[in-house]
A = this chain, B = another copy of it.
Amino acid sequence: MPVNLTAPDPATLLPVPGVRLGVTMAGVRKANRRDLTVIALDEGAAVAGVFTTNRFCAAPVQVCREHLAAGAAIRALVINTGNANAGTGADGLARARQTCEALAGLIGCQPQQVLPFSTGVIMETLPVDRIAAGLPGALAALQPANWGEAAAGIMTTDTLPKAASRRITLGGVPVTLTGISKGAGMIRPNMATMLGFVATDANIAPALLQPLVKEAADASFNRITIDGDTSTNDCFLLIASRQAQHAEITSLDSADAKTLRDALIALSQELAQAIVRDGEGATKFIAITIEGGRDEAECKLAAYAIAHSPLVKTAFFASDPNLGRILAAVGYAGITDLDQGLIDLHLDDVHVVTRGGRRPEYREEDGQRVMKQSEITIRVGLNRGTASATVWTCDLSHDYVTINADYRS
């Protein structure tokens, strides 16, 4: 059961001029599943992305990096579910390239102008023949209005599609941003998560896309975790079709760039948080804010230690205010000179700990009341500086174990 998340209303998903999407059934792993998605980009589009830092990154991730580095204009993305094409060695790389070649042949471009994405089981051979056979069907289905279909087409253990749009005004002209994401387990993105795609028609200089996508990922996908497992296939991609009729944005310091950046970050956060809300077995959505740190890095250390602690996560599942587990996690987070005598802890509005010890005024029933909510904020004060950081996570329930013990069956 996703936590306060519903399927997107198709009417709210705005087409992005210059971007068309098509989904089909290719039988990648099982028959009768919509498992192959193509996103076609008009000429003139620019693309930038961030990718997993997992050293066992999947073959398609390696090919994406190569093709983006080659600098040729990207004309299409091809995304399959059911198979991650990771842990597949040299053969997997060859199959990722064959996928690009097949699509390039059909749409009349170079293979380097295609980006491949895969998600699913690791260490199995990619059935490139079935994917190639499915491509004509995906191309025949291409439509600008297919964002909802694409969001559904890239799901694996997700229970709901994840998609959202924003509309802003740049230079007096309406500009659209629409994005989709997927993911529910193996989620601790370390550049971005498999898979997030945001497209806009903003007319922005291509060189500005990479810093923008990095900033958006750092503020969204790089702030979520479900189980601490950084996937082999994480990708977050920003597409600008550049068809909006405002003056080109050439500096990130301009007012228009700021408007675009704010909308992009808000959209990315919504898509990233949707992944947590749909986290495997999740029953609660938990925001963890660390304040008063010396720098953001130590705040993130403490926030992730809490977010990854199985003991904290099971306590939240049980609505049991066994909050000492939070202190223990802060203690082992790796802040080597931390003074426990300075620590504060709030659970929403309930002040639980002061100076490293339980407040005499704290009553367990107040903690219990907050723990029973489906949306909870944990706020820890380190009281040694002015930096802060927030990450988002979910609880650890029986269903997480069930889902991951049964994933392949």
Contacts and interface: CB of A to CB of B under 8 A. Distances in A.
Contacts of A320: 405, 407-409
Interface stretch (A2-10, A173-181, A226-234, A259-267): A226-234
A366 to B, nearest CB: 14
Contacts of A88: 357-358
B56 A340 contact: yes
Nearest to A330: B56
Contact of A56 (B90, B317, B331): B331
Nearest to A324: B122
A144 to B, nearest CB: 35
A350 to B, nearest CB: 14
B404 A327 contact: no
A327 B232 contact: yes
B229 A332 contact: yes
Given A57-B331, A396-B401, A121 B322 contact: yes
Contacts of A125: 358
Contact of A353 (B55, B87, B322, B332): B87
A380 B229 CA distance: 18
A335 B55 contact: yes
Given A87-B324, A404-B311, A55 B332 contact: yes
Contacts of A52: 332
A1 interface: no
A102 B189 CA distance: 52
Contacts of A340: 55-57
A344 to B, nearest CB: 12
A310 interface: yes
Interface in A23-71: 52-57
Interface residues of A, number: 75
A142 interface: no
Contacts of A317: 401, 405
B53 A407 contact: no
Contacts of A336: 55
Interface string A69-97: 00000000000000010111111100000
Contacts of A185: 311
Interface in A367-409: 396-398, 400-402, 404-409
| For the complex of A and B, 9 pairs with smallest distance between CB atoms | A89-B357, A122-B324, A56-B331, A318-B405, A123-B324, A230-B332, A314-B404, A55-B338, A54-B331
Interface of A: 52-57, 84, 86-92, 121-125, 185-186, 188, 190, 227-232, 308-311, 314-315, 317-318, 320, 322-325, 327-333, 335-341, 343, 353-358, 396-398, 400-402, 404-409
25 contacts: A52-B332, A55-B332, A55-B333, A55-B336, A55-B338, A56-B331, A56-B340, A84-B324, A86-B328, A89-B356, A122-B328, A123-B358, A185-B311, A186-B328, A190-B332, A227-B310, A228-B308, A229-B332, A230-B332, A310-B396, A310-B400, A310-B404, A314-B405, A315-B404, A397-B401
